[in-house]
Amino acid sequence: MQLNYGGSDGRFSWILYQLENLKCWGKSDGVRYPSEYYQTKLETIENDIQENTDEITVLTQETQNDIQENANQISKLFELANQAETEIAILQDQTTENKNNIALNDNDISALKSRTTDLEGEAIRNDYYFKYNSCT
């Protein structure tokens, strides 16, 4: 832009202006000042940070609860495993005892069988109970 005016005596001419208070008559619709743009951007970032912090807090608490629950379940499983091991040891002892008792009973049965065979040979053939059985 060029300002042309005439009547100057010298090489330079001076124009005096008197400025009053500056007045802002507003801005057009849809226009944002740079400060508003950056303020909005900062608020958005701060809100995102707060939301992320809240989510982290909730997830941390949930994780702590899950860890505690898992620790309780593991403790119960250890107790059950210890009980099972104790029961297995008891059952193994009972099995060993039963096997020993079976062996003793086999010996007793063998001894009874030989005695029965001996007694059958000595039984009186004309004995009423021997001939007719007492249960009939």
Nearest-10 Cα torsion for 56, 58, 63, 68: 140
Position 128 scores a pLDDT of 58
- From 53, 51, 32, select the one nearest 41 (Cα to Cα): 32
* Between residues 116 and 36, the one the model is more confident about: 36
Pairwise CA distance, residues 19 & 82, whole Å: 95
**Cβ-contact 130, 123 below 8 angstroms:** yes
Q: What is the mean pLDDT of the chain?
A: 82
Each domain of the chain, given as residue ranges in start order, spans 41-104
Position 4 scores a pLDDT of 54
Convert the pLDDT of each residue in 34-51 to its tens digit.
788 889 899 999 999 999
Q: Per-residue pLDDT for 15 more than 80? A: no
Convert the pLDDT of each residue in 64-105 to its tens digit.
999 999 999 999 999 999 999 999 999 999 999 999 998 888
CA atoms within 13 A on the CB side of 49: 6
Query: Residue 134: which pLDDT band, with cuts at 50, 70 and 90?
Result: low
Position 10 scores a pLDDT of 61
Position 107 scores a pLDDT of 81
Query: Residue 133: which pLDDT band, with cuts at 50, 70 and 90?
Result: low
Position 37 scores a pLDDT of 85
